[in-house]
Each structure stands twice: as C-alpha cells, then as structure tokens.
Amino acid sequence: MARVAVQPLDIETGLVDDHAAAAKVLPGAAYQSSARSKAIEAFAVEGLPNRRLEEYRYFDLRQMLAKAGPLAVTPAASSVDTTDPAAGLFAEIDRHIAVFINGRFDAAGSSLHGLPDGVELLSHAEALNSEAAWVSEALESSIAPQDAVATLNAAYAIDGVVIRVSAGVKVDKPIEVQWRAVGDVSTHFHTRSLVVVEEGAQLTLLETRGDDEQAPVFSTGALRLVVGDDASLRHAALYADGKDVVRVGKKSVTLGKTSNYETLGLAVGAGKARTDEHVHFAGENTKASISGLSLLRDAAVMDNTLFVDHAVPNCESEETFRSVLDDASRGVFQGSILVRKDAQKIDSQMQARALLLSRKAEMDAKPMLEIYADDVICAHGSAIGEPDQNAIFYLMSRGIDENTARALLVAGFLDDVVDGFDDGEIAVALKTLLAERLGAPKDTAQEAPL
C-alpha cells in the first residue's frame, strides 16, 4: 500500500531545513557528516511518527507537536533550576555524578573524581571527536529497528554520556547521569549515549531527568546498553519531564551469555513522554528484569513501549509495569515478547496493571506474545481498575483518615515493584519520592520489604 502523502508541519520543515547549519557544530563533523546527512534525508521522507503507525497509535508525535512551529537548536547553558524535583533524588547515596544541561556535558557541575581503574567516562562529543573504534562498533551493533525518531536523533545528536567498564571491574558505587533542561520553550535537543559493561564486570547506573518551567519543548535521547558475558547491569531512571515537554527515549540493549540485567523506570513528570526499549538476548542462561512505574496527574502522558527478543535458549525475563493515573493523565503500555524458533527453555512473564484515580484518566495496554518454540513457559496479563474501596474502608476502621488510607494503598501498589528491584538506598530514595507525591507517611519508605 502506498504511503499517504501529508503536508509537512512547520516543525518538520524546520528540522530538515536547519540541519545543514546545525551540523557544522555537531560533534564528529569530520567523519559523521555523511551519516548525519543520510539520517536527515530519511527523516524528511518519513516525518514525525503519527497514529497511522501501529507503534505510535497511542503516542501521536505529529499531533503533539503540530502547533509547535519551527524550533531552534537549544543553546548551551551553565546553570540548572534548583527547584527541579529530580535533582536531589539520590542525594543521600555515595555516587559519581555526570551532569548534562540541555544535552551537553557540564564538567563543572559533575563529580567524577575517584572513578576506579578500568572505568572510562566521557561525553559522546569527546568520544566521536576521538574516533574511538569501540564506540562506533558498539553503536553500530544494535539490531533495534530504526524509525523516524531514531533517524532524527542520529542527525542531530549533540552530546551524551559514554561509559565503558573493563572486563572484571566491579564499580563499587553507582554512577548517576543527571539530565537537565532549562531555557527557551521553542527549542529542541537530542542526545546519544552508550554504556558498555564488559565480561564479568558490574555496574549500577542511575539516571534522573528533570526540567525547569521554561524547558525545551522537544527532545529525544538514544541509549545503547551492551552487557557482556557474565556481566551485570542495574539501571534505575527517574523521568520528571516539564509540563510543556515532549520527549522520546530510544533504548537498545544487548545481553551476553550468563549476564544479568535489571532496570526500573519511574515516571512522575507533567509532560508527554515515551520510552521505547528493545532488549535482545544474544547469549544463553541470561536473566532480565524490566520494570516501569508511572505516577501521573493533570494531562501528563507516559508511553512504555517494550520489545523483548528471546533469540537464544535457556533464558528468563520478567516484565512488570504499573501505573497510577489521576486527573486527565494517560498511561500506555505496549509490550511484545518474541521467542524465536530455536529459543527453547524460555521463561518469560509479562504483567501490566493500572489504577485509575479519576474518571478522566486513561490507560491503554497491549501486551503481546509471539512464540515459535514449543518448550517454553510464557504468559502475559493486564488489569485496569480503581482502588479497592474495601481495603480503604478497612484502613479507615483502624483510625486512618480516608486520604491517607488511599495514599497508603496506592503506595503499596507501586512500592512492591521498587522492592523487587532494590532493597537498599536506591529503594528508599524512590519510595520516599513516591510517598511525598502521594501524601503517604514518609516512614513507610524506610520499611524493609517483607
């Protein structure tokens, strides 16, 4: 079927027309110019994704940006808004910190002294300008499909974080990457990051994304994760997008044999955001735990789109997503598990659940299984409902007021997933934030899981 022609939006025309001038100041210009030109040409043909594409049925990027008009590339900034709710989330945890403002590395605001031997951390711009072979090899090894957002990101990527943990190195404390957006609401920026955890290495990676009240209106971020044989990566991310922000994150993960991958994303923002994660099992006897939480209000939107590719036998994956939606907010979960023909002995369990706190809130869930092997244990499920009034009444009968009872019930619904990811300082930080947002007693966040 021929593609239906549509009139380009002002923002689409501007992104294409302005690229030639912007490319002159983008990193790696000496040898990346051809790739960037091909990427913007591909975007010019496709345009912004819209609801006619099944993958973007619930996140019509074209409609969201229809009134944005032409956008300028976000300029560099040297300060962050201290009222950003994400800024101090992990303040009590001893960690290394890399700060990016409007997509660009802020060396002055970062704290990277004391990185152990065998750990490299540099900006994407530095990595491109140095023409490091391992960087290009890792980025090009991704088999995730390339849509219009990916090509736009490739064309405009201004910076990002690049981390390599050498074989056998166990990083003793987490590395946090803080993404901050400040300034003009009529601008855009795009980042591209890479994390490589080599054979037998271990890393805990934290991400916090937050915006001030005048944040850029549109951003994309591509994150490539490569987990080597016998390696372990734990990744926790907080998304606190600003009210006027539209953001799309693309995440491509490759897992080696007997590796372990755990990830948890928590969305508490006010804008419209999408995380598109592609997880490829490349080695046997590997385990992955992929979780996402959304606590939204007003007109916020969070789209969690996930594709898990079981390409080899004897692996396990667990996908757990929960949403709490108030006012006119909307949650989306599109999860797909593919078990290929020769991938026997797969155990994969997917679950998506949502609590609606308002009659105007909306949840769209589409879990899917595609199985071509016959010796597997796979299941998926979805449930959407309201808080249990009997449970609320029970708590009220014990002397707890109705608002606190409701907050405790909702906190328990979300905290259960946090406990499955971590039982230490990271869990306390995340549960404290959830308690604050819900109005639940903060001491519930300090309790150890049963």
DSSP assignment of 367-416: EEEEE--SSEEEEEEEEEE---HHHHHHHHTTT--HHHHHHHHHHHHHHH
Classify burial at 207, counting beta carbons within 10 Å of its beta carbon; exposed 0-12, middle 13-18, buried 19 or more: buried
User: What residue type is 176 in one-letter code?
Assistant: E
- pLDDT of 26 reads 86
Residues in the chain: 450
* Angstrom distance (rounded) from CA 136 to CA 138: 6
- pLDDT of 450 reads 41
Q: Which residues contact 240 (CB under 8 A, 6 or more apart)?
A: 84, 85, 86, 208, 209, 210, 211, 268, 269
Query: Whose structure tokens read 């508490």?
Result: 268
CB environment 69-80: b (16+ within 10 A), e (fewer): eebebbeebeeb
* Angstrom distance (rounded) from CA 429 to CA 263: 16
- pLDDT of 447 reads 54
CA 444 from chain center: how many Å? 26
pTM over 0.85: yes
Low-confidence ranges of the chain (pLDDT < 50): 1-2, 82, 448-450
Rg over alpha carbons for the chain, rounded to the nearest Å, is 21
What single DSSP character describes residue 331? E
The DSSP H or E segment spanning 39 is helix 29-46
Q: Which residues contact 242 (CB under 8 A, 6 or more apart)?
A: 181, 210, 211, 212, 213, 215, 269, 270, 271
Contact at 8 Å (CB) between 294 and 267? yes
Could you report the per-residue pLDDT of 142-158, keeping only the tens digit for each?
A: 888 889 999 999 999 99
- pLDDT of 80 reads 55
Taking phi first (over 0 means left), then psi (-120 to 50 degrees means alpha), and beta for anything else, what does residue 200 get? left
* Angstrom distance (rounded) from CA 216 to CA 214: 7
* Angstrom distance (rounded) from CA 203 to CA 207: 13
* Angstrom distance (rounded) from CA 246 to CA 16: 19
Could you report the per-residue pLDDT of 311-340, keeping only the tens digit for each?
A: 999 999 999 999 999 999 999 999 999 999
* Angstrom distance (rounded) from CA 37 to CA 18: 12
User: What residue type is 211 in one-letter code?
Assistant: D
Residue 136 has a CB neighbour count (10 Å cut-off) of 16
- Tabulate helix, strand, coil % of the chain (nearest 5): 25, 40, 35
- pLDDT of 82 reads 45
Q: Which residues pair with 372 in a beta bridge?
A: none
* Angstrom distance (rounded) from CA 392 to CA 407: 9
* Angstrom distance (rounded) from CA 192 to CA 62: 22
Could you report the per-residue pLDDT of 93-148, keeping only the tens digit for each?
A: 999 999 999 999 999 999 999 899 999 999 998 988 777 778 888 888 788 888 99
